Structure 1
Amino acid sequence: MRQLILDLLPEERPSFENFVVGSNGEALTGLASWLAPANREPLFFLCGEAGAGKSHLLQASEAAYTDARVDPDLSAMSPCAPNDSAYAVDNVEALSAGGQISLFNLINRLSASAGRLLATASVPPRQLVLREDLRTRLGSSLVYRLQPLSDAEKLAALGEQARARGLTLPADALAYLFLRAPRDMRSLSALLMAIDRYSLEHKRPVTLSLLREVLQAPLQL
């Protein structure tokens, strides 16, 4: 195939409503409780493998978001202002030495101002290779591990997304896509969106032949 739809974002902005929960109900409930205005816990930490949904939940939290893989020095993170009470830092294991100092200082400032920090990594805080003082601070967080969706959960979620779009798929369409596309929900959801758009633009029903075209031909989105 010449091009897979790897970099498309789902049409909807990440939210708690469009997060596919799977076996992560406890983590989602814990995060919702932590985000409640009455909560005073300063730190919340999500860990889990790539594709488990950590970035989705951080962006859904509406905190000031920074991805350490993109900005390892946290240079784009603005200083705390009086109305900046919640920050979200994704992939903290990617922080540079300077970024680790910046995050440690941010935690101190947020603690002094009753602000809050939401952070993620692939492993729990105690396993991170970071400055000891930062690792200790992060270790005091409320920590939840996100579990990746099973194949059955992904197929069920795709089927639900297709029904929500009013998209009629042949019986074996999801299995066909599942064997040929990336297995993370972000890519699968983006591919479903591309199929829907391609079908509408070409005024053709979704068939296995159309699916092959979507997977093989570059799309202009």
Structure 2
Amino acid sequence: MRQLPLGLGPQEVPTFDNYAVGPNRAAVEHLCGLNGQHAPAPVYLWGEPGTGKTHLLRALAHEVASLGGRVGWFDHTGGPSEFDEGWRLVVFDSCERYGPADQHRAFATFVQATTHGQLIAAAGRWPPVDLPLREDLRTRLGWGPVFQLLPLSEAECRAVLRQAADRRGVFLSDEVMSYLQTRFSRDLGSLMSMLDRLDRFALATQRAVTIPLLKQMLAEEGAPVAQGEFR
């Protein structure tokens, strides 16, 4: 009988300190300086999945909350039902996924947040001009600084993955690392998710993390064993 691993504890809270900066230092430095300003221009982050857009928005929200500020968070799954004048920060995440009702509510909230001098931070997969949104919302999202988040280089990604494995007490050999980076999605978010699954599977089977273990995990999950199809 396979031993089921206990939970690995609460997930690490996204902060600026645990974000792998890579080529995105300008965006991080700008966000770090926002909380001390009064009613700065809205900031918008865009980039491919896995570049850390939501991580940085949550890091900003965490910083605001740690200083006693309240945060209103909106994404395609919903958000607070009413506007709160007491918010210090209003966040609009996954903007490219907003439907007509979301767009209407986001626009109204954006206008109110601006009127009350609240911080505004938003993110989406594409730059504001390319978002499939109503024009008045698009123009407001692009009103202030806009930062494109770029993925980490292969070497940077490898270093972050190694550090994450070390924190978990997982030995990730160069062979396993290369296999992951060459046969699966290379964005850091996907690789960290794979590491989490591998860690849990290794605990459950009481085996070291190896390529055969990875293949076994994928087979039991019903996923295809990588043969270059994830390149």
Normalised by the shorter chain, which TM-score bucket?
0.7 to 0.9
Deviations 1:131-161 (A, max 9, x none): 3322222221221111122222222211121
Supply the distance in 2 between the matched residues of 1:56 and 1:197 (Cα, whole angstroms).
23
Q: Distance in 2 between matches of 1:176 and 1:29?
A: 34
Unmatched tracts of structure 2, length 5 or more: 1-9, 62-70, 223-231
Provide TM-score, normalisation by structure 2: 0.77
Alignment deviations for residues 85-124 of structure 1 (CA, whole Å, 9 cap, x no partner): 2121112233223322222211221122111221112222
Q: Structure 2 CA distance, aligned partners of 1:152 and 1:44?
A: 29
Distance 1:130 1:210, change over 3 A: closer
* 2:82 aligned with 1:84: no
- CA-CA distance at 1:39 after TM superposition: 4.1
| Letter of the structure 2 residue corresponding to residue 85 of structure 1 | R
Q: Which residue in 2 is equivalent to 1:4?
A: none
User: In the TM superposition, what is the alpha-carbon distance from 1:51 to its structure 2 partner?
Assistant: 2.1
In structure 2, relative to structure 1, the CA distance for the partners of 1:202 and 1:123 (3 Å cut) is closer
Q: Which range moved further: 55-64 or 107-116? A: 55-64
Q: Deviations over 1:9-47 (max 9, x none)?
A: x9323332322211111111111112x233430411111
Bigger RCO (CA 8 Å, 6+ sep): 1
What are structure 1's unaligned runs of at least 5 residues?
Answer: 1-9
Counting matched residue pairs gives 204
Partner residue of 1:30? Answer: 30
Matching of residues 84-123 of structure 1 within 5 Å:
84-123=87-126
TM-score normalised over the length of structure 1: 0.81
Looking at structure 2, the residues matched to 206 and 93 of structure 1 have their Cα atoms a distance apart, in angstroms, of: 37
Identify the residue that residue 75 of structure 2 maps to in structure 1.
67
Partner SS, residue 117 of structure 2: coil
Aligned residues: percent identity? Answer: 34
3-state DSSP class of the match of 1:55? helix
